[in-house]
A and B are shown apart, each in its own frame.
Chain A
Amino acid sequence: MLKNLFKQKEEENPEESENARDDEKVTTRQDGEEKPEEAVSLGGLFGRLKEGLTKTKKGITDRVDDLVKSYTKIDEELFEELEEILITADLGVNTTMEIIDQLRDRVKENKATDPKEVKGLLKELLTEALEEVANPTLDLETTPSIIMVVGVNGVGKTTSIGKIAHKLKGEGKKVLLAAGDTFRAGAIEQLKIWGERSGIDVISHQEGSDPAAVIYDAIQAAKSRKVDVLICDTAGRLHNKKNLMNELGKVFKIVRRECEGLSQESLLVLDATTGQNAIQQAKIFKEVTNISGLVLTKLDGTAKGGIVISVSKELKVPVKLIGVGEKLEDLQSFEPKIFVDALFD
């Protein structure tokens, strides 16, 4: 049940709901003052008036600050507006409801009486949700190790591979790339250009050839050339395309067979602009490829990528890396705290 956003103004059982609401009202220390009620309404009025006037160009942080300032009491409206912020960041209705419920509990537990604390508690909750599954490192113990990169169309797989390869090479590793997208026009050449940028070899076949065969060859090459890390590109595919997912399953079968005992990472690339569909993407890609981590791209835009909070909670897969641009060095390790702060920017 949604408690705030979809709150029924008139409850079926008025007495009960009054009590429930009273419960959730946490009065501030300022209650000792003479006329707290009036202070509330005036603050609220002016606060929101100001907010309305400056809304367009403002980041969420400012809005939260305004919001917090404009309340001297932690009341329903505050929770409601925090909900709006989470929904707008693409956390989705369900996750938002859960988080806000937890926030209510935490506000009580902490006997938080200052509305400013609420924002801190909310951030804490979101960070915890991410940290619960966090694991920023890639398992690249063996020589060779293999990283498979998968995802739907256009999310940034090939670009992320270019960046990851560059990063690993910078750490002194010998890297090899496999052009496993044999479908999309120009995909092989695109990967080759990324390889050239960091002086890294690319194993490729012709456009239209069997992706499993390229990956197989690349694995053999990685072994014989004593490469530290092999990173394999794959064609973008929508998770609801059964035949394409089967094709990917086949590729992974070969990888598992040929790389037994070797370190394997399977990274799902998610586009930060994506809404609720990302959950479905992650679910199905996880079934087929047993993904070990997420790469969240395009965080340099205005989209918040809040969907990874839902994905982390539901599937227990950590976000490992984030993409923040189109250049070689626009890749960062995922840090829950920084990410959560940015949700409110």
Chain B
Amino acid sequence: MIFEGLAEKLQNTFSKLKSKGKLNEQDVTAAMREVKMALLEADVNFKVVKDFIGRVKERAVGDEVLESLTPGQHVIKIVKDELTRLMGETQSKINFSNKPPTIIMMAGLQGAGKTTTCGKLAKLLKKQGKRPLLVACDVYRPAAISQLEIVGEQVEVPVFSMGDQEKPITIARESIVHAEKNGNDVVIIDTAGRLHIDSDLMNELKEIDEQLHPHEKLLVLDSMTGQDAVNVAKEFNETIEINGVILTKLDGDTRGGAALSIRAVTDKPIKFVGMGEKLDELEAFHPDRMASRILGMGDMLSLIEKAESSFDQKKAKEMEEKLRTQQFTFEDFLEQLEQIRNMGPIGDMLNMLPGVPSKQMKNLNVDEKELNHIQAIIQSMTRDERTNPSIINGSRRKRIAAGSGTSVQQVNKLIKQFEQTRKMMKQFSGSGMDKLKKKGGKFNMPFFG
């Protein structure tokens, strides 16, 4: 079942109710039921939902909602405000010790993304002028140490390890000595994944905590986590009193209700979010965006930011120049296409737009298959053919069709469209391009839109 979006559902609920006249408390209860559903579908913990609904309902009843002409939107606003408030302020910063080195310790369940996040954080801090040291304290998972070493190499940050025979507390303690000697002002300790009910391993963390007093203890949590998130967060927080949370894998399509659950049980800030496997994909946490995401209300801001980060401004300028002088080739086109597709499925992107009803979305029908074909066709061209499409004769077209699993007609169509677009593009001089760009927003590519 496709989730239709809370806004739409609430609107429906209220339009039904409104025909009866003035809204009353029961109507608000009905609306709250939809909110409840949405939150549970988003994986917010059951008990957290109950509490939350109680609070929101209190605010909604006796409020102007009852008189409001657009009660659906009014309720949404209350819900979203309350949710954003619960999410806390944006606090995407690390507490540095005024007596370096600052010690940061990552902790969490298996596979949550600790090691990757250590690398991301090291990269970020390095960019801010720090001299971080990564410390390999996962002595259990096979190849965990070399994973961290490779990550360290990728972000050009040294890695301290003592193999997998020493105790984590020993490695951690030695790493501080090493950091002091080598002028590293931040130490980032990677620990093994552990279950919150594994008392031996939880004690191991406690030992590091009690002996080294890390300045930042961060719980790394997978954003796809379900109802169990409360247990995990609670146990980790009770054992080592965390300073904050890093929510990983938010580049997926999970609604991420775990974010609300962990806030509710720990009251600790979510500091950063992981937005991909690459080591520069760590971002600040935005409570308001997370609130919209959990409610399935679309997230305009994220979309815009995503578009901006996907489109390299300098490259865009180059592309523009090429278009104007008719030097735009299939090679360039492929690059552009890939950039756009890197942002995720087109349909998903459109889904992120608020206020676009799902019914209309279905009619829009962005054909991913068609894009696959286009990509395959261009990929099957030789370099020469891509830069100089005029050499693509009949036999070459046949070869390209066979290579890309498409038909000669499809290849013909693409080449024709490409030539036409190229001609058309040439007609836009500088100012014309600007206008076109405004009209088409960020997506000013041939064949598109």
Contact = CB atoms under 8 A, between A and B. Distances in A.
Nearest to A284: B253
B252 A240 contact: yes
A155 B30 CA distance: 38
A10 B30 CA distance: 9
A184 B277 contact: yes
A192 B345 CA distance: 34
Contact of B33 (A2, A156, A274): A2
Interface in B178-202: 195-197
A5 interface: yes
A125 B412 CA distance: 57
Nearest to A303: B228
Contacts of A307: 226
B227 A93 contact: no
Interface residues of A, number: 54
A114 interface: no
A257 interface: no
B113 interface: yes
B143 A9 contact: no
B1 A94 contact: yes
Nearest to A207: B150
A189 interface: yes
B225 A243 contact: no
A193 B145 CA distance: 13
A193 B164 CA distance: 13
Contact of B342 (A189, A192, A193, A243): A243
B29 interface: yes
B112 interface: yes
Interface stretch (B34-42, B59-67, B210-218, B299-307): B34-42
Interface string B201-225: 0000000000000000000001011
Interface stretch (A36-44, A126-134, A275-283): A275-283
B154 A274 contact: no
B358 to A, nearest CB: 16
A266 to B, nearest CB: 21
A160 to B, nearest CB: 12
A326 interface: yes
A146 to B, nearest CB: 23
B142 A271 contact: no
Interface in B360-376: 368, 372
Chain A, interface SS category: loop
A300 B109 CA distance: 12
A326 B345 CA distance: 35
B29 A276 contact: no
Contact of B30 (A8, A275, A300, A301): A8
Contact of B344 (A2, A241, A300): A241
B46 A186 contact: no
B7 interface: no
B12 to A, nearest CB: 13
Contacts of B222: 154, 271, 273-274
7 contacts: A6-B33, A152-B224, A242-B345, A275-B227, A275-B258, A277-B224, A277-B254
Interface of A: 2, 5-6, 8-10, 84, 87-90, 92-94, 152-156, 162, 183-187, 189-190, 192-194, 207, 238-243, 246, 271, 273-278, 280, 298, 300-304, 307, 326
The 9 closest A-B pairs by CB, nearest first: A275-B226, A154-B111, A186-B147, A275-B43, A193-B142, A185-B150, A190-B143, A303-B228, A6-B33
Interface of B: 1, 26, 29-30, 33, 36-37, 40-43, 45-46, 109-113, 115, 140-144, 146-151, 154, 195-197, 222, 224-228, 231-232, 249, 251-255, 257-258, 277, 338, 341-342, 344-345, 348, 368, 372
Given A8-B29, A276-B226, A280-B253, 18 more contacts: A6-B37, A8-B33, A90-B43, A92-B41, A153-B277, A154-B222, A155-B111, A186-B148, A193-B142, A239-B252, A240-B344, A240-B348, A274-B224, A275-B43, A276-B254, A298-B110, A301-B195, A326-B140
